[in-house]
């Protein structure tokens, strides 16, 4: 398992279907759901703690970046594609 993690972290092909990675993805999906649906916009400390759990390392401005790129056109479907969108460079 540790070798598979090293392969992933260095950008090489790895098996993403090991029990460890499946469990990790499920945990992070739950954290993302909690961040997106259960944290109040005014609770910046909690948002920062959640981002620590999800991303590991990040800079303080990550919250402003997420708000400006992902929430820029809230309510207008398909009017904004951020550089984080999987099809932004397709």
Residue 50 domain-assigned (yes or no): yes
pLDDT band at 2 (very low <50, low <70, confident <90, very high): confident
C-alpha span between 43 and 13 (Å, rounded): 39
Q: What pLDDT is attached to residue 27?
A: 93
Q: Tell me, yes or no, whether 70 lies in a domain.
A: no
| pLDDT tens column, 42-77 | 888 888 888 888 887 766 556 665 665 555 555 444
Q: What is the pLDDT of residue 79?
A: 40
Determine, yes or no, domain membership for 24: yes
Q: What pTM was computed for the model?
A: 0.59
Nearest to 21 by CA among 6, 34, 33, 10: 6
* CB burial readout 9-29, b (16+ within 10 A) else e: eeeeebeeeeeebeeeeeeee
Q: Is residue 18 part of a domain?
A: yes
Question: Which stretches within 1-90 are classed as H helix?
Answer: 2-9, 19-38, 44-55, 62-70
Is residue 74 situated within a structural domain? Answer: no
In a domain, residue 85? The reply is no
The residue ranking higher by pLDDT, 89 or 54, is 54
Q: What is the pLDDT of residues 16-43, one digit of tens each?
A: 999 999 999 999 999 999 988 888 888 8
Q: Give a yes or no: residue 84 inside a domain.
A: no
Task: Identify the domain containing residue 45 by its residue range.
Answer: 2-58
Count of domains for the chain: 1
């Amino acid at each position: 398992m540790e070798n598979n993690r090293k392969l992933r972290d260095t950008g090489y092909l790895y098996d993403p279907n090991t029990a460890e990675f499946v469990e990790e993805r499920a945990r992070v999906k739950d954290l993302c759901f909690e961040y997106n649906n259960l944290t109040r916009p005014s609770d910046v400390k909690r948002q920062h703690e959640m981002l620590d759990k999800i991303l590991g390392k990040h800079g303080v401005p990550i919250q402003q970046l997420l708000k400006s790129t992902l929430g820029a056109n809230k309510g207008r479907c398909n009017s904004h594609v951020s550089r984080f969108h999987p099809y932004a460079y397709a």
